[in-house]
Structure 1
Amino acid sequence: MRSASQPSAEQVRKTGGLRERKKARTKAAIQQHAIRLFREQGYAATTVEQIAEAAEVSASTVFRYFPTKEELVTTDLVDPMIFAAFRVQPPELSLVEAWRRALIESFHELTESQLDTERGRGLLTLSVRELWAASLTNITAGLDTMTALSAERVGREPTDAEVRNAVGALFGVLLIAVLDWYKHQEGDFVAHINAALDQLESGIML
């Protein structure tokens, strides 16, 4: 029998959930300050100590969330949101439509400052050579996750050629849309994604 001083399972769950949300907010805040300082001062000129001061945490806390300086830029905090949203899309949706809805739902949850941080990450990745090299691992991991989730959804293996080709086409369309957004930030990004996916789903007629 549980004593009055022992927390219930529900209390443990809520406490754990609150703790994880607090960690997520701290991690996002550190990255947001890092991206802002990198853009203002330059990547090489900005120190982890300056980032810690701006985020009002210790340098050791920064390194606990981001073990290397490069990871302050290359760590993608939005992809996990998109993958989670994809997992709960209705089964009757096509593969492209499921990814479309997951993307739109996730981007609609982002604030303007979060969107600015995402675009800043992209611009830094494109302009700083070592960041581009470091980001390739994350890009590959994202593609692998998309392939695995897509294969699971359609009941096939990730090695299936049709699955890999479909995800490759989808990934390529999304990558071009994101790169355009990084460079130009013109128009509505979600509308741009919608138009690109419409063309992919209807077929490339060139």
Structure 2
Amino acid sequence: MPDQHSTLRAQRRAETQRMIQAHAVRLFTEHGYDATTVTDVAEAAGVSPMTVYRHFPTKEDLVLLDQRGRLVAERILASSAAQPLVSRIGGALIDAAATLAGGGEGHGLTADEQFLLARLRLMISTPALRAKHLDNNYALQQAIVDALGDDDTDADTAFRFHVAASACLAALHTALVRWAEDDGRTELPDVIAKALAAAFGDDFAGTGLGG
């Protein structure tokens, strides 16, 4: 069954990707980002450097690559077009963060939250990663705009989508930095919701975590 084989390949690929990224983040944290090479990561993961590059085109991607774009787009597509733009985008960002953080319930950090926290600390402290993070944000912004519109979206409407997405991502970045500086003591979705509410007030009020 081709579909089943395709699903299994995708699962194996995702598992390999997670394994490589986990080793990379551990080595970067223990030895420093600049002092750790892709070859070091490959050796720790038990794969070839070529395999690492097949999953992560750049060294920066070993820290920053995640599923946010797909998750955010899916949630925007599932939201109501009757909502304010920042509610649709903000709710999607909160939902995606909750998924990536592993859905903690206040009983200490989950493994996913610890991993995300380590990645954020590396991003904040490493200039090369901060620059790559900006590139990733542009890609995420475009994914948001694509999910909001379609082929018939006019230029003025697309401009509004870009502005709303950019503003929401700025609030998200501020929330992520605050969460990392606070050692993850507050639930990440709550920190993001607080940042969005501070930025947009009534336009964001009442979105909850589902958008």
Common topology (TM > 0.5): yes
The verdict on how the C-alpha distance between 1:169 and 1:70 changes in structure 2, with shifts beyond 3 A counting, is closer
Instruction: Specify the alignment match of 1:198 in structure 2.
Output: 197
Q: Tell me, which stretches of 5 or more residues in structure 1 are unaligned? A: 1-10
Post-superposition offset of 1:166: 2.3
Instruction: Specify the alignment match of 2:97 in structure 1.
Output: 107
The verdict on how the C-alpha distance between 1:72 and 1:197 changes in structure 2, with shifts beyond 3 A counting, is same
* Counterpart mapping for 1:29-44 below 5 A: 29-44=19-34
Instruction: Specify the alignment match of 2:147 in structure 1.
Output: 149
Asked if residue 81 in structure 1 is aligned to residue 71 in structure 2, the reply is: yes
Instruction: Specify the alignment match of 1:170 in structure 2.
Output: 168
| Relative contact order, higher structure (CA 8 A, sep 6+) | 2
Contact persistence 1:30–1:62 (CA under 8 A): yes
TM-score (norm 1): 0.78
Which protein has the larger Cα radius of gyration, Structure 1 or Structure 2? 1
The verdict on how the C-alpha distance between 1:130 and 1:197 changes in structure 2, with shifts beyond 3 A counting, is closer
Q: Distance in 1 between matches of 2:132 and 2:195?
A: 27
Instruction: Specify the alignment match of 1:13 in structure 2.
Output: 3
Aligned residues: 192
Post-superposition offset of 1:18: 1.7
SS at match of 2:57: coil
The verdict on how the C-alpha distance between 1:158 and 1:115 changes in structure 2, with shifts beyond 3 A counting, is farther
Instruction: Specify the alignment match of 1:4 in structure 2.
Output: none
Out of 6, 9, 12, the position equivalent to 1:22 is 12
SS at match of 1:109: helix
TM-score (norm 2): 0.76
Identity between Structure 1 and Structure 2 (%): 30
* Counterpart mapping for 1:60-99 below 5 A: 60-99=50-89
Which amino acid is 1:103 matched to? Answer: L
Post-superposition offset of 1:159: 4.9
Q: Distance in 2 between matches of 1:12 and 1:79?
A: 27
Instruction: Specify the alignment match of 1:3 in structure 2.
Output: none
Q: Distance in 2 between matches of 1:31 and 1:50?
A: 12
Contact persistence 2:23–2:41 (CA under 8 A): yes
Q: Distance in 1 between matches of 2:112 and 2:163?
A: 32
The verdict on how the C-alpha distance between 1:63 and 1:203 changes in structure 2, with shifts beyond 3 A counting, is closer
Contact persistence 1:70–1:131 (CA under 8 A): yes
Instruction: Specify the alignment match of 1:5 in structure 2.
Output: none
